[in-house]
Chains A and B, each alone.
Chain A
Amino acid sequence: MSHDYTLIMAVMNAEKYIGQTLESVFNQTLLPAEIIIIDEFSTDRTVEIIQSFSPNIKVLNNIRPGMSAAMNFAIPLVTNEYIAFLDSDDIWVPTKAEKQVEFLNQNTTVDVVCCAALNFRKDNLEDLDFKVYREFAPTRLFTASTFRASSFEKYGFLDESVGHFGWLYDWWSKASEGGINVASIEEVLLHRRIHESNSWVSRRDEANQTIVNIARNNIKRRTSNIPEIK
């Protein structure tokens, strides 16, 4: 049984919160064996802050545009058994990695494990003291989950053509059809920062349209084997 996991993060101009986020990684009771950060050529101090944590963090520039492309670039680089993801403004509870990795070690048929999350928000953008907003039951956000690296070979890579909001829904739709085995730890292991620049807030219309498109794709794919009624 291996406890080695790679942490993948995609970042762009994240200087405001990246320090807190990485601190939560370095406070883990089980440290990652490797950290790969895909940087979309940040123009602020993001890379400098990352490098101040450890010279061993791999910082690579994105090859194709967008978040799903960043992940498709990073995932094949992973040679460890497990992969965890973390958004550049979220915070892990110190036992997050240990509990999830231990869970996957003990439940060998499970492909991915997620956890409950606690949303935080603040009153103004400068305020670093976020207030607890709401606790959520486990969901399959990548930032709340640890995957077996083999999951992406089994259930596919991320579709880069379905937009910023599409890849998550698209991947889980296809993985569910493929029979992915997901488990959850009913415990808050992730603190999720809610702010005005969260892309789900600032680009709500695009997000909603994308979900409609994914639904259409799903229907098309799932009915493609059914003969047409004449």
Chain B
Amino acid sequence: MSDYDYSVIMPVKDAERTISQSLESIFSQTILPKEIIVIDDNSTDRTFEVVQTYSPIIKVMLNPKSGVAAAVNFAVPLVATKYISFLDSDDLWMPTKAEKQIEYLMNNPTMDVVCSSVLNFSKERFDDVNFQATREFAPSRLFTASTFRQATFEKFGPLNESVGHFGWLYTWWSRADEAGIKTGAINEVHLQRRIHENNSWVVHKDEGHKALIDLARDNIRRRAHDKR
């Protein structure tokens, strides 16, 4: 096993139009992953077929439950490498993303996770591959822009599957912050993020905002409990 071994976890659902481009961006990495674990959330299009024939290093499995959080929780224990990264099925990695993030974690042994800057892209038509850059963003802790140590999930726990779309991401980081997670950042664009009308953050906005309310209530409850 090499020091650079990493796995990619991709939760997918009805992504036949973009999944090949996303996979291509993995296969264009300067360091290839040991394995790619694709968790298919019961797609009704050809996603499963497209992925299955793509490469022998891809394991594709059906999500035993539903939702991104459940897919990630199912995949993480299957990982046999030291590093784990994630890729959304409509995003694209820049070719040196994996190499630079893994090197960062090697050189900074106290960091649990590292993320990078992202560039948003939009397009006229959904199948148009010539995206136009709309805006560059400073690093943020999107899973799809990050590489984690496998041990990070042992230390900070799995994702909460019952808090919906915005929910799991905000909940996981909030609890990890409380527990003292250390995040590093590389100020270089390593992820191209596709902005379109079907982005889950747009489609599931109401569910997301409800999750934030639940999170706020939960924090107030916990604070009151701590005071007693």
Contacts and interface: CB of A to CB of B under 8 A. Distances in A.
B216 A40 contact: no
B148 interface: no
Contacts of A1: none
A79 B217 CA distance: 9
Given A63-B142, A76-B215, A161-B202, A41 B174 contact: no
A43 B184 CA distance: 11
Contacts of B185: 41, 61
B169 A161 contact: no
Given A72-B212, A76-B216, A157-B209, A64 B183 contact: no
A178 interface: no
A69 B212 contact: no
A98 interface: no
Interface in A157-190: 157, 159-161, 164
Given A78-B216, A157-B212, A161-B199, A60 B138 contact: no
A65 B142 contact: yes
Given A12-B138, A40-B139, A41-B139, A61 B183 contact: yes
Nearest to B120: A65
Interface centre among A65, A79, A159 (most CB of B within 10 A): A65
Contacts of B208: 157
Nearest to A43: B187
A41 to B, nearest CB: 4
Q: Is the interface of B mostly helix, strand, loop or mixed?
A: helix
A153 B187 CA distance: 34
Contacts of A66: 137, 140
Contacts of A60: 177
Contact of A63 (B170, B213, B224): B170
A65 B169 CA distance: 13
Interface string B167-188: 0011001100100000101010
B219 A76 contact: yes
A75 B213 CA distance: 9
Interface in B186-210: 187, 199, 201-202, 205, 208-209
Contacts of A62: 138, 140-141
Contacts of B228: none
Interface string A107-137: 0000000000000000000000000000000
A152 B140 contact: no
Contacts of B141: 61-64
A65 B183 contact: no
A103 interface: no
A65 B166 contact: no
Interface string A54-75: 0000001111111001001101
Contact of A40 (B140, B173, B202): B140
Contacts of A157: 208-209, 212-213
B219 A64 contact: no
A65 B135 CA distance: 11
Interface in A38-53: 40-41, 43
Contacts of A164: 135
B118 interface: yes
B57 interface: no
A77 B140 contact: no
A161 B201 contact: yes
Give the 10 A-B CB pairs with smallest separation, nearest first. A65-B137, A76-B216, A41-B185, A79-B223, A40-B138, A76-B215, A62-B140, A41-B139, A157-B209, A65-B140
12 contacts: A41-B187, A62-B140, A63-B141, A63-B169, A65-B142, A76-B213, A78-B216, A79-B219, A149-B216, A152-B213, A153-B213, A164-B135
